[in-house]
Every structure is written in structure tokens, then in C-alpha cells.
Amino acid sequence: MERSFAKEVALLKKGAGEVFEGEGILAITKALLQAGVSYVGGYQGAPVSHLMDVLADAKEILDELGIHFEPAANEAAAAAMLAASINYPMRGAAVWKSTVGTNVASDALSNLASAGVVGGALIVVGEDYGEGASIIQERTHAFAMKSTMWLMDPRPDHSRFVDLIEKGFELSEASNTPVIVEFRIRACHMHGRFIAKDNRKPSLSRNHPIESPSFDPGRICLPPHTYVQEKQKVEKRLPAALEFIRREKLNEVFAGTQNDVGIILQGGLYNTVLRALAQLGLADSFGTTPIPIYCLNVTYPLVPDELTAFCSGKRAVLVVEEGNPDYLEQAINALLRKADLQTTVVGKAVLPMAGEYTASVVLEGLARFLEGAVPKGLDLAAVGAAVERVRAAKEKAAGLLGAPVPKRPPGFCTGCPERPVFSAIKLVERELGKVHISADIGCHTFSTLEPFYLGNSVLGYGLGLSSSAGIAPSFGKRVVSVMGDGGFWHNGLTSGVTGAVFNDQDSVLVIMNNGYTSATGQQSIPSSTADGRKPRTTIETALMMMGIPWVKTVRTYSVGKMVKALKEAMTTTEKGLKVIVATAECQLARQRRLKPQIAKQLAAGKRVVRTRFGVDDEVCTGDHSCIRLSGCPSLTVKDNPDPLRQDPVAHVNNDCVGCGLCGEVADAAVLCPSFFRAEIVQNARLLDRALWHIRSRFIEVLQGNDAAAPAPAAAE
């Protein structure tokens, strides 16, 4: 980790009565400390990475409170940590990105939920859904239902977040059940404020160790206890949870005046619905609206009597529930029928079944509901007009623009060390033909986008190699699997490499060894060497111990060598797994470290050579092959300065970090001679300057001689 979180850590120290102003995920982190957690584990991933980052930097606070913090090897390991709360009255929290992290964790979670807990166990998940998400679109809701864990979806407001984290622990303890709290992307990154409380020292912790182990056969997940545990879930834990939710008013009812209709919503969507109501002229800026709202801060389980009380006397209610399946809508329908209430439940009929509930989606759905339900005495003129305004604006804009504007998905950073590997694969494909590539999760998944379009499947974090197992034997050519070092340690070594060794898989694995889990924010891993630290272990060591003879470490920027290694791996007669460890540090992290160092050296008058690439625009013919083999943000195009040519020429802008890929690709791909490398000697020494002057003079003389011929001169 090259970034410091000192400022964020300071926020965690706020005491009772002080105003905390900051990001949502930090408020959640602070809430854990206020709730007196004994331990926190997790695995990084947007949108909850910051919780991990900040705690990793908060050693002083954690030591003082006695809290154990562990960046776990993966989400399963993080979930398994919660075992501490099965036997001991310790509060613990686990955090990860969902649903992918919950998938990985679910073995541990099922067992945890069956055994039940005595100490509060909270699982904080970042619901990575909608715009800005980087994973498959699913709901965490299903996990809560199938394992009988409670699911909270707090209304976006820092005070509410902090309050509900505390209540979540209490709920967990009152019902002996782990509780999941989900926060959407925008909520995690939301800036807001709340009045802090003092952090609470846990009674059992590193600083106050447990004296003797507690043994309770009823907590063991083995028959016959598991049968008892299943019964406990429905007979004891659920009623206890319902009682707690009701008593502590975890769900909120905002009364209105238009009592023939109402809205039931997931807490996380409250603000969006309120804004849509305001846009329709039906709410003010403080949440006052004539339409009654039942805000579910706990989305599983539903509290039947609360629900029927809200719905009774209403002709229709709108259920605002994001994602599919429509678990809430189904459950509400069932509960109302059981209670023999005839309230019409409208949900996915007016709102989309799939996709994020953005402001405009909710606006349209709400308008359709109101126009359909026609609440008594409500003026609906403004409703249609608001929707029409949006539609008209978009239509006019589309007309003016003439075509959709180009998409701009994320891609490899300037100078990224992973890019050259895909340049090399493209070059190998020119010779050997197209290859099947099992891609993996990480920054390297961007290889599937323009300009590379490389990667035929993505199956999950660290599963690049495993996902080749089925296809490899049925392919005429060896298949290539890609895996990042993050994925390797998360899962790839155990499931991928072990499986390939055991099953004699004959294929090629490329491991991107850039020193961090880069896509999640450059967190450290066992093979990290950041700050010149000795790695705890290396990928090569692990592979050697797995007994893989064919392992080659290649510097990623050496495209020629990478091409050679790939070709050899693809064509050698040697059977078994062939692994290329493509090594070079994450450029984002590297620049973050180097920039201040270089600035210091320059200020001290030290000699620093700055390298960057350029394109001779008269030599470039505007075919852009170089861009198709690189896609580096700093390798771009500009207007052709040649009055005869029309297509833009390639151009290297000043963001170039001089990684050398342009030159390597031009060379390895035999592209064109328009690239040049410029080395700028800053704080040049006397010898540098003397040599330079001599050379320049000599070259000028040569050019002078040449001037006899009609020498052109630039007139700009």
C-alpha cells in the first residue's frame, strides 16, 4: 500500500459529542469501534476497500482498544473468523464485496449461521450493484434467506448507519444469529456527518484474553446437532429477531395524509424515492410527503404485523425493491394474503425487474404507480409533466449530438505493466492463430475490452486456471489462463494450480505479478515487495513447492522476450502446466512512490533522467496499429499536421511515464519507425553538457552541409 490513510484514521479517534464528517464507509468503520468489536476481518474490494485500508493504518487505535484486525487471505477466511462469536460473547465483524465475496464466504457462513452466535457477528457487505459495479449483478438477499441470517439495508444517512450497526450487533446477540448489513456503492462513498460517541473497549480482546475454552456440543455443525440448530432457527431465533426489530423500531414508518396508498421500500432506496416524490411535487426537502412510507431498514426477515398494520386500509402499495428476483414483493404478497388483506401490491409491474434503481428509473416507476393507483384527491398533472420534461431533454440532446457519444470503459493505466503481456499475446496470435484465453478477475480483465478483446471467459477471482480445466483437453491448441497475483493467493494456488498438477493439465498459465491486489486499491499480498520489504513468500517459491518444472519469470515490458516465452510455452513438447510469471510493479503504485522521490532528487540538484516516448508525425501514416496493440491512455491521436493527409496521427502526450512499451511493440511487431525515445537529462552534469554540446555542434555542421540541397524548414 503506497497510500497513507492518516487523515481518515484521525476521524476514527473522535470522541463523544464531536462531529464526524466523512465518507460513509468510514462512518461504518467508526461505528464498529463505537460498538465495541473485539475483532475485524475482511477481504478488500470496492466499495468497502477503505474499511480495510483505514484499519490497516490504524494500528495505534486498534492496539489501544485491543481489537484484532486481519486482512484475510480471502472472504472464506474472513467469514471463518466469525467463529470466535459462536462460543464467546465477543463482537466481531467481517467485511467484503458482495455478492462475489459472499459466494466465496458462504461455506463458512452456512456453518456459522447454523451453529448460531452468542457474541454479535456482523457481516458488512458492499453491494456492488449498478453503475460503477465491477462484478456480476446479483443480490445478497438470497444468502440471508437460505442460511437464515438477518439482512439490513440502512437508510442512507450517517446517523442511521452508525445507529443501525450498533443495533445490528444487539439484534445478532438477541437472536443468536449473524447479521448482514449491506451498503450500496454510492452509500459507501457518501460524504455526510453524525455526532460521534466514544470508542468502546471490548471486554474480551487481545488486551483482556479469554481464560479457558468453552465447549458446547450444541454449537458443533454435525448431526444430530444440525437438526436441532435448524429447528432453533425457526422456533427460537426468528421470533427473537422479530421481537427485537419491532421493539427497537429498526424499520421506520413515515406517516402521510394520503392513506389510501403507500410505499414500501428498501432502506437504501429511501433518498432516491424521496427525491423522485419531490420532483413530482409530492415532497419537500425534509422528507415530508403526503404518501405514507414504510422504510425497511431490515429487509430480512419481514415483520408481518408491522407490514399488515401499514397496508391495512390502503388500496395499493408500491414496493420499491432493487434487483431480481423480487423476494420482497413475493413475500409481501404472501403475507398480505395470509392476513386476508386485499391491498394491491405493485412493484416490478411498474419498475424494472433488472438493473439499478437510479433517479430516473424510480421517477418513472413512481409516476406509473400514481397514475395507475390514482390516489384520492391528489393532483397528478405535475406527475406527467415531470416525466415528460426528462424525456424531451434527452430526445433533444440525442438529436443535437447526432450519434451516441463514444463509451469510455475503464482500462489499463498509463504505463501499466499488464498491458504489454496482452500486446505480446496478440503478437503470438499473429503467428500461432487465435488462442482460447480463460481470463480472471483483476485489472487484467480489461484485456477483454478494446483494444485487445482478449479473454473468452471470466469465472471468478483466482479461477482463471480452474476455468481452463474443462476446455483445455478439448482444444487443438494449448489454452492460456490468466491470473493476477491477487487471485493467485486468494484462490488460484489452491484451486487452480493444485488442480492442474493433480490432473496433469497441459496448458499455459500467465500470472500477473505486479505486487499488489491492484484492482481493489493496491493492498499488500504475501508476495508484495513494496517499500523494499522482503516478501513473505514468492509466487515462484509456491509454484516450485507445487512441483511445477516449467516456470519462467519474464519482465512484462520486454515484449520480445514475453512473445518468445509464450511461444515456447504454447509449442514445447513438455507436458503439464507451463507458468509464466509476468513481473513488473503496478505503475500506479510505482508512480505514487516515485513522484515524491524524484521531486526530492530534483530539488537537491541530483541528476535525473526522464524518459518518454514520442511519434514523428510526418513519419506516422495514421493507421493506428500501435494503438490497437497498446491502448495506453498516453498514446493517443491528434489532427494530422500534414495538409495532404486526413486521418489523425498517433501522438504521445505528456502523461507518458516512459515505460517503453511503445518502442518494444514497434520493435516486436515490426510496426513502423515513427516512434522515438527521448531521454531528458535533468540537472545534467558538466560531462553531460559538454558531450551534448560537442555532439550538437557536429550534427549542426553536418546539417549545414546538407543545406546546400533544398532543405525544408518548419514554419509553424
Partner 1 sequence: MSTRPVTILVAALGGEGGGVLADWLVEAAMSAGFPVQSTSIPGVAQRTGATTYYVEIYPETHAALGGRRPVLALYPSPAEVDVMVASELIEAARAVENGYVTPDRTTLVAATHRVYATIEKMQMGDGRFDAERALRACREMAARSILFDLTRSPRTRALALNAVLLGAVAGAGVLPLARSDFEAAIRARGVAVEANLAAFAAGWEIGQNGPAPDIAPESGHALPRALAVDVDAMLAETAQRFPAAAIKIVEEGVKRLVDYQDEAYARLYLDRLDALRDLPEKVLAEAARHLALWMAYEDVIRVAQLKSRPERLARIRAEVRAKPEEPVHVTEFFKPGIDEIAAVLPAGVGRVLRDWARSNGLLDRFHLRMRLRSTRISGYLRLLLLAKMKRWRRRSLRFAEEQALIEKWLDAVARAAAIAPEFGLEAAVAAKVLKGYGDTHRRGRANFEMLMTRIIEPAIAEQRNAAPLLRAARQAALADEEGKALAKVLPPAAPMKLAAE
**Shortest Å, Cβ 604 to partner 1:** 17
- Residue 384 interacts with partner 1 (CB under 8 A): yes or no: no
Contact pattern for partner 1 over residues 519 through 538, marking x by CB under 8 A: x-------------------
Q: Which of residues 409-428 bind partner 1 (CB under 8 A)?
A: 409-414
Burial state string for 42-57 with b = 16 or more CB within 10 A and e = fewer than 16: bbbbbbbbbbbbbbbb
The smaller minimum CB distance to partner 1, of residues 308 and 636, is found at 636
Choose the binding region for partner 1 from 67-75, 312-320, 322-330, 441-449 (rule: CB under 8 A).
Answer: 441-449
The rounded radius of gyration (Å) of the Cα atoms in the chain is 30
Half-sphere exposure of 618 (CA within 13 A, CB side): 1
How far does CA 365 lie from the centroid of its chain? 29
Choose the binding region for partner 1 from 189-197, 207-215, 329-337, 573-581 (rule: CB under 8 A).
Answer: 189-197
Choose the binding region for partner 1 from 258-266, 283-291, 478-486, 575-583 (rule: CB under 8 A).
Answer: 283-291
Of 51, 187, 437, 559, the one binding partner 1 (CB under 8 A) is 187
**Shortest Å, Cβ 191 to partner 1:** 4
Q: Which of residues 292-351 bind partner 1 (CB under 8 A)?
A: none
Which residues share a beta bridge with 398? none
Task: Give 639-690 as a DSSP string.
Answer: ----SS--SPEEEE-TT----SHHHHHHHHTT--TTEEEEEEEET--HHHHH
Burial state string for 418-435 with b = 16 or more CB within 10 A and e = fewer than 16: bbbbbbbbbbbeeeeeeb
Contact 114, 296 (CB under 8 A): no
Of 389, 536, 555, 606, the one binding partner 1 (CB under 8 A) is 389
- Residue 641 interacts with partner 1 (CB under 8 A): yes or no: yes
Contact pattern for partner 1 over residues 102 through 121, marking x by CB under 8 A: --------------------
Phi and psi for 457 in degrees, rounded to 5? -155, 155
**Burial class of residue 645, CB neighbours in 10 A (0-12, 13-18, 19+):** middle
Q: Which of residues 37-56 bind partner 1 (CB under 8 A)?
A: 46-47
Of 67, 443, 497, 570, the one binding partner 1 (CB under 8 A) is 443
Choose the binding region for partner 1 from 55-63, 116-124, 274-282, 456-464 (rule: CB under 8 A).
Answer: 274-282
- Residue 380 interacts with partner 1 (CB under 8 A): yes or no: no
- Residue 448 interacts with partner 1 (CB under 8 A): yes or no: no
Q: What is the rounded distance in angstroms from the CA atom of residue 413 to the CA atom of residue 182?
A: 30
First to last CA, the chain: 47
The smaller minimum CB distance to partner 1, of residues 550 and 676, is found at 676
Contact pattern for partner 1 over residues 656 through 695, marking x by CB under 8 A: -------x--xx-xxxxx-xxxxxxxx-x---xx-xx--x
Please name the residues in contact with 502: beta carbons below 8 A apart, sequence gap of 6 or more: none
Q: What is the rounded distance in angstroms from the CA atom of residue 272 to the CA atom of residue 358?
A: 7
- State the DSSP H helix or E strand holding residue 21, giving kind and residue range, or none if neither: strand 19-23
- Residue 190 interacts with partner 1 (CB under 8 A): yes or no: yes
Query: Around Cβ 222, how many Cβ atoms within 10 Å?
Result: 7
Contact pattern for partner 1 over residues 554 through 593, marking x by CB under 8 A: ----------------------------------------
Choose the binding region for partner 1 from 196-204, 308-316, 508-516, 635-643 (rule: CB under 8 A).
Answer: 635-643
Q: Between the CA of residue 580 and those of 331, 471, 511, 633, what are the distances in Å? A: 51, 20, 6, 26
Name which of 252, 245, 266 is nearest 329 in CA terms: 266
Strands 191-195 and 19-23: antiparallel
Choose the binding region for partner 1 from 113-121, 162-170, 284-292, 499-507 (rule: CB under 8 A).
Answer: 284-292
Q: What is the rounded distance in angstroms from the CA atom of residue 265 to the CA atom of residue 267?
A: 6
DSSP, res 467: G
Contact pattern for partner 1 over residues 67 through 96, marking x by CB under 8 A: ------------------------------
The smaller minimum CB distance to partner 1, of residues 56 and 666, is found at 666
Of 354, 603, 604, 702, the one binding partner 1 (CB under 8 A) is 702
Of 70, 83, 110, 133, the one binding partner 1 (CB under 8 A) is 133
Instruction: Spell out the alpha helix ranges (H) of 233-342.
Output: 238-247, 270-279, 304-311, 327-338
**Burial class of residue 481, CB neighbours in 10 A (0-12, 13-18, 19+):** buried
Q: How many residues bind partner 1 (CB under 8 A)?
A: 128
**Shortest Å, Cβ 304 to partner 1:** 28
Of 137, 207, 259, 625, the one binding partner 1 (CB under 8 A) is 625
- Residue 18 interacts with partner 1 (CB under 8 A): yes or no: no
Which residues share a beta bridge with 511? 483, 581
Of 400, 604, 686, 708, the one binding partner 1 (CB under 8 A) is 400
- Residue 708 interacts with partner 1 (CB under 8 A): yes or no: no
Of 107, 235, 284, 574, the one binding partner 1 (CB under 8 A) is 284
Burial state string for 592-621 with b = 16 or more CB within 10 A and e = fewer than 16: eeeeeeeeeeeeeeeebeeebbbbebeebe
The smaller minimum CB distance to partner 1, of residues 287 and 304, is found at 287
- Residue 642 interacts with partner 1 (CB under 8 A): yes or no: yes
Name which of 260, 399, 262 is nearest 332 in CA terms: 262
The smaller minimum CB distance to partner 1, of residues 161 and 244, is found at 161
Q: What is the rounded distance in angstroms from the CA atom of residue 501 to the CA atom of residue 465?
A: 11
- Residue 132 interacts with partner 1 (CB under 8 A): yes or no: yes
The smaller minimum CB distance to partner 1, of residues 355 and 526, is found at 355
Choose the binding region for partner 1 from 9-17, 219-227, 325-333, 636-644 (rule: CB under 8 A).
Answer: 636-644
- Residue 398 interacts with partner 1 (CB under 8 A): yes or no: yes
Q: What is the rounded distance in angstroms from the CA atom of residue 277 to the CA atom of residue 283?
A: 5
- Residue 253 interacts with partner 1 (CB under 8 A): yes or no: no
**Shortest Å, Cβ 135 to partner 1:** 10
What angle do helix axes 49-56 and 24-34 make, rounded to 10 degrees? 60
The smaller minimum CB distance to partner 1, of residues 180 and 283, is found at 283
Cell numbers found for residue 165: 450497526
- Residue 603 interacts with partner 1 (CB under 8 A): yes or no: no
- Residue 643 interacts with partner 1 (CB under 8 A): yes or no: yes
